[in-house]
Structure 1
């Protein structure tokens, strides 16, 4: 037997052994998945995504594709980032970072949840966090709306005393805003948002103005607040 023939035969044997070893390692019943550890999934049904890819607790760990599972998870509306890893011999780790819903927008009769960047997460459904202000902006260009919503919600996040009171917010041209509280008070703001919210906070701390029987507070004149009381026919017991 020549040297080249011997080398060729050895190569064939090694290749056959490698194929046999791969098939044996990937065979059903070997390295079975026994545990799926999920973290960060508050709104995402991870198990449904895992099941849709044919992954169950009898599946060979070597046949689970972490990249494919991560890609599928990133297509879920709530998922901002996903990490998937196999921890041998039998554990699949899934760690999610979900988007945070800060407010809602309305299009026709449909409400949409918006994230920290002012982008849509999904249409609101029962079970979603619906106690959020609804922001309407029919005047800004579509590509400008997310930034404007984000700027407003950033200011509102710094003022939880006001955020929890708001039911709806309307953006107007020129950077103006109209805010509606859950008690029915209308707040008129100009593009001097920070200074006017600061004045409103001072009025609330000193006079509890938002707890009084008023219809409107106009803060658009610098350093002043014009208050319109409820009309007599409106001054019955408040609800809501």
Structure 2
């Protein structure tokens, strides 16, 4: 009766779609042109749409007389997470985006470690707090669920402390700007000790520099 009265679906308007598959959206809506619009359930459509891998939230409305309106909020990729040699794309909350192919997101930062996604936002903020140094980062590796090693693109490992990691990273950035530590034969920069920076070279030598950074040896 509603179709006879002109209350039938003539158009579906979707806003906010960037990466979600259009055919999958229409399949979840399960509506065709000519369907009585009052028989369409926005609540069910919302629940079904939010099952799609890229959809974080969905708003679905009947706009009488003949339009189904959908507004999507999609999940934003944050980083690549390496788990047992396999790369996954994670979103801003650290959840894996199941359908995302890592090969299409190769420019995202890389994190490694079983619990790395739970702490991804904090370590990425730390890295980005020093842009010049951050541009040289290849990966952030979570160690024993407590702290991070930052692998630079020249192979150097920067070992951050469990506490006050931001201060340690900023200190190292200042030292690098002033002294060009990374231009030397360095393989490890150890910032885990409370009062000093230790540089290890490929020949096994160590050099110490006092620093004003609090932290624990781990």
| Shorter-normalised TM range | 0.7 to 0.9
| Equivalent in the alignment of 1:25 | 2
Unaligned runs of 5+ in 1: 1-23, 232-240
CA distance in 1 between counterparts of 2:120 and 2:35 reads: 45
Conserved? CA contact 1:214–1:229, under 8 Å: yes
How do residues 117-156 of structure 1 correspond to structure 2 at under 5 angstroms?
117-122=93-98, 124-125=100-101, 128-138=104-114, 146-156=117-127
2:193 is the counterpart of 1:221: yes
TM-score (norm 2): 0.74
2:86 is the counterpart of 1:110: yes
Higher percent of residues as strand: 2
User: Residues 21-49 of structure 1: CA distance to partner in whole angstroms, max 9, x if unpaired?
Assistant: xxx1145x933433333222222124422
Conserved? CA contact 1:102–1:153, under 8 Å: no
CA distance in 1 between counterparts of 2:24 and 2:76 reads: 21
Higher percent of residues as helix: 1
| Equivalent in the alignment of 2:60 | 84
TM-score (norm 1): 0.68
Conserved? CA contact 1:135–1:170, under 8 Å: yes
User: How many residue pairs get matched?
Assistant: 202
How do residues 1-240 of structure 1 correspond to structure 2 at under 5 angstroms?
24-27=1-4, 30-122=6-98, 124-125=100-101, 128-138=104-114, 146-173=117-144, 175-191=146-162, 192-207=164-179, 209-210=181-182, 214-222=186-194, 224-229=196-201
Task: Kindly report the root-mean-square deviation, in angstroms, between the aligned alpha carbons of the 2 structures.
Answer: 3.1
Over alpha carbons, which structure has the higher Rg? 1
